Amino acid sequence: MNDQGSLFGGYLLKWIDEFAYITACVDYPGNRFVTIGLKDVEFLHPIKLGEILRFEVEEKRKGASSVEYRVEVFGEKSLTNTDSALFETQITFVNVLDDGSAAPIK
């Protein structure tokens, strides 16, 4: 937490990357995914100490070698007094070979 009692944004982005990566690996086992980007990283609501977070990850698009997920983060304890997502973004992964070049998703 920062000195204002809110979660550092970098921690939230790390968790989003982890949850979406796990989802991609479960959806498409046997691939080697790397994160290539997040869209619209804008923190709309502070996440205060004691908030319980719920992450919803939904596939939005699958290409030949990449897959994109929408990730929404909700506060279960409603410390922010909102029913809307505390944060949302889209994250894209690409399947790669050992040399780092893109490979078709199996």
Q: What is the pLDDT of residues 72-99, one digit of tens each?
A: 999 887 665 667 889 999 999 999 999 9
Asked if residue 4 is part of any domain, the answer here is no
Domain span at residue 28 reads 9-95
Taking only the tens place, the pLDDT of each residue in 34-71 is: 999 999 999 988 898 889 999 999 999 999 999 999 99
For residue 78, tell me if it sits in a domain. Answer: yes
Phi-psi region of 59 (alpha: psi -120 to 50; beta: other; left: phi over 0): beta
| Residue 100 within any structural domain of the chain | no
Residue 102 lies inside a defined structural domain of this protein: no
Please indicate, yes or no, if residue 53 is contained in any of the structural domains: yes
CATH of the domain at 65: 3.10.129.10
> Is 104 part of a structural domain of the chain?
no
All residues at 6 or more sequence positions from 35 whose CB lies less than 8 Å from its CB, including other chains: 17, 21, 91, 92, 93
pTM, 2 dp: 0.92
